[in-house]
Structure 1
């Protein structure tokens, strides 16, 4: 009788590759490996445990075993539209932790604490302190003006015709080349950011600057890195478009994520952002009922299923 396999030990997010796109194939687990099988029957093995986020494009089918394996190893599966510019659905790699959810919710619901977190996000994004005595709404307006100016400066730097961020979610192909590149680039950033948010045990929907959307907190966190990482990539590709520009953007994003060591930074930076509220995260009550099947200690990030 063969010896049982050792328990899975998720790789921390900071040590993973950022993102992989899969299209036109069946994703399954064969002989214990996470694979993509094309129409001719050729298998391509994907090292799923070493990837933060797998983007599934049209023409992809996913088996139950593949989804279960991705969940166990803490890899986020995201169902996206062609070229990754629409997000339809996403898995949850580890399950949010109640203590971190309560901590995040308390910060978001108290306007004074929320403002402190927003000010920290602003400072981390722009490298200077925001103006004093401004509300969240006023800071959002100031941020929007700085962002528009940043787009204009990058367009000038790369020689790209730019008339503003303009796209139709129902008709992405109608956008100009620069906006298409930006949409593809930001989808990569949002994917890996959501993977990190979920791995850390927080709720993507509970935002501070952005509100009312399923990925509000993901947008908050991703915006800190956007102009450092993916936006310059998008304008660089748009300046000299050749072939499949969306693919060129993805490859550029993958490289810049590695160069900036983004996956090592996101979770610690989330802690820094939320620590601006200057409250202690809640501890579980003494009489809390433990899980029926306790999770062993894991090498993965907080939130991963052990």
Structure 2
């Protein structure tokens, strides 16, 4: 372990693609450490080794302790790390981009900085969420009204499908167990989806804060992306778990979400969807796994960095 800090950062070609990873792993009441390039989870039953490059999101529940070396390898591998409170209600996350290019981040910032293109992306998100809906020319109020109607319809549809009684959506961040089983499931599913979305957003190098539907929060774009799959994956998984009984809703919902994420190949879809929404074609990516740092000229030409241009023009 004495040489761990001397290892160079892995290149993107040495790391697992985000679309090929395990969507999330949940741990609680254990110590998370590092052994070589794997993380270990040690509890009363022993030690489990987990290849760090295969993790999309690591969910750390109550009673977990994590070492500096574990966080070092997780950061190098681009895994998002989410600390969750009891039953997964509280949320905190971080991560490092797998992409070494700023191309997607710049495409996101360009689309976000203009009101017209920002609304265009929001409309595209609603078309993706609700196939068959015509969002052309719709205002933000129209989009929110559409969302409210379709999400309520989804709750009613899933209640009928599973036979689980449903009254209304209730979320109590200070008292998870006060809600009924389907509401607990919807809350737990939402936290899982946020973790998955944050992992993909961070891995692609996008800004979690620059949202197109949500705004004003450090994870606005994460919420945007997670909501794309709410009615297809999150809510059905919650009702499936509730149909099995009312005990241990949080963990059973996580398993139901994980199954649906795997079946729908969500991580791959999520990467493609973000690139499509931001109209990113990858022209700024080098494709050779090497870092490229350039300098910008006044006419937006990019020249090689790491050189002294004091005695020569850069245009």
Q: TM-score scaled to structure 2, two decimals?
A: 0.82
Query: What is aligned with 2:221?
Result: 217
Matched length: 286
- How much does 1:54 deviate? 0.5
- 5+ unaligned residues in a row in structure 2: which ranges? 286-293, 308-315
- Report the equivalent of 2:305: 290
User: 1:249-305, CA deviations, whole angstroms, 9 ceiling, x for partnerless residues?
Assistant: 1111111111001111111110111229x9x9899734567379xxxxxxxxxxxxx
Cα distance in 2 for residues equivalent to 1:171 and 1:193: 25
2:35 is the alignment partner of 1:12: no
Aligned-pair distance for 1:31? Answer: 4.8
Distance in 2 separating the partners of 1:243 and 1:61: 26
1:217–1:80 CA distance, 2 compared to 1 (3 A): same
Alignment partners' CA distance in 1, 2:220 and 2:135: 23
- Map of 1:94-113 to 2, 5 A cutoff? 94=97, 98-113=102-117
The match for 2:31 is 26
For residues 28-63 of structure 1, what are the alpha-carbon distances to aligned partners after superposition, in whole Å with 9 as ceiling and x for unaligned? 1135531012257x2111122111010001111111
Show the counterpart of 2:137: 133
Distance 1:240 1:60 in 2: 28
CA distance, structure 2, for counterparts of residue 142 and residue 31 of structure 1:
50
- Give deviations 1:56-89, integer Å, cap 9, x for gaps: 01111111100000011111111011222221x2
| Greater length-normalized contact order (CA 8 Å, ≥ 6 residues apart) | 1
Displacement, 1:6? Answer: 9.0
Alignment pair present for 1:202 and 2:217: no
Q: 1:22 to 1:287 in 2, by over 3 A?
A: same
- Aligned-partner SS, 1:229: helix
What is the distance in 2 between the residues matched to 1:281 and 1:112?
24
1:36 maps to 2:36: no
Match for residue 151 of structure 1 among 131, 155, 158: 155
Alignment root-mean-square deviation, CA? 2.8
Please tell me whether the aligned partners of residues 119 and 129 of structure 1 are also in contact (alpha carbons under 8 angstroms). Answer: no
Distance 1:212 1:104 in 2: 16
CA contact (8 A) 1:122 1:130 kept: no
Contact 1:103/1:281 (8 A) holds in 2: no
Task: Give the whole-Å Cα distance in 2 for the aligned partners of 1:284 and 1:117.
Answer: 29
- Give a deviation string over 1:180-235, Cα, whole Å, max 9, x none: 01111111111111100111111111111111122211111111112111211111
Deviation larger for 57-66 or 170-179: 170-179
| Cα 1:39/1:149, change in 2 over 3 Å | same
Give, in angstroms, the shift of residue 163 of structure 1.
Answer: 1.6
**Displacement of 1:5 after TM fit?**
7.8
Alignment pair present for 1:82 and 2:86:
yes
Alpha-carbon distance, 1:22 to partner: 0.7
C-alpha deviation, 1:131, in angstroms? 4.1
Q: Is the 2:177–2:184 contact (alpha carbons within 8 Å) kept by the matching residues of 1?
A: yes
Q: Which protein shows a greater Rg?
A: 2
